[in-house]
């Protein structure tokens, strides 16, 4: 049985199968994109995060990462120089629900992103400067560490 570490660093044992999601950090040159969630959303509205999405039953984590990138940022396969798989994470949300997060880095040569309705804006920032975005989701640092963008 795996150990789950929640955003505060507490370890718990999973009692339910985890929700499976992908989290993709978009990299352009030496910067990463932080996306600000739309205020129209019920969850994490107005907070900074990366590209995310539930893993659909018919998709591999890599396929889902490509789908979410296109949907949320307008980046197609042709826009990517590389898609690097990061370390998988087991996280727990505030209610104790387990989440299996498949992490990726999408390296692009395209600076301009075309956001969908889920996002209000985005900012390119050096990975070591993400702490200045105080309104970021609690799990973002774990994803950045798992993809090699942040040393914790």
Q: Any idea what the CATH number is for the domain that residue 52 is in?
A: 3.90.79.10
Domain count for the chain: 1
Q: Band the pLDDT of 140: cuts 50, 70, 90.
A: very high
- 56-66 residue pLDDT tens: 999 999 999 99
Residue range 120-136, pLDDT digits in tens: 999 999 999 999 999 99
| 151, part of any domain | no
Q: Within a domain: residue 152?
A: no
Are the C-beta atoms of 46 and 39 separated by less than 8 Å? yes
* Structural domain span for residue 105: 4-146
For residue 129 the two structure tokens come to: 């400067």
Integer angstrom CA distances of residue 150 from 8, 42, 129, 139: 17, 28, 10, 13
pTM exceeding the 0.85 threshold for the entire prediction? yes
Q: Is residue 134 part of a domain?
A: yes
Read off the tokens for 103.
Answer: 């992490």
With respect to residue 94, please indicate whether it lies within any of the assigned structural domains: yes
Report d(CA 79, CA 77) in Å as an integer.
5
The answer to whether residue 67 sits within a structural domain is yes
């Amino acid at each position: 049985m795996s150990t789950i570490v929640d955003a505060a660093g507490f370890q718990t044992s999973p009692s339910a199968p985890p929700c499976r999601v992908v989290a993709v950090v978009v990299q352009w040159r030496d910067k990463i994109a932080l996306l600000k969630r739309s205020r129209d959303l019920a969850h994490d509205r107005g907070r900074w995060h990366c590209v995310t999405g539930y893993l659909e039953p018919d998709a591999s984590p890599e396929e889902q990462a490509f789908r979410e990138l296109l949907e949320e940022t307008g980046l197609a396969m042709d826009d990517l120089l590389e898609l690097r798989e990061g370390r998988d994470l087991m996280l727990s949300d505030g209610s104790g629900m387990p989440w299996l997060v498949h992490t990726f880095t999408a390296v692009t040569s395209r600076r301009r992103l075309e956001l969908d309705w889920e996002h209000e804006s985005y900012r390119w920032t050096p990975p070591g400067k993400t702490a200045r975005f105080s309104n970021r989701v609690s799990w973002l640092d774990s994803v950045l560490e798992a993809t090699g963008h942040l040393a914790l």
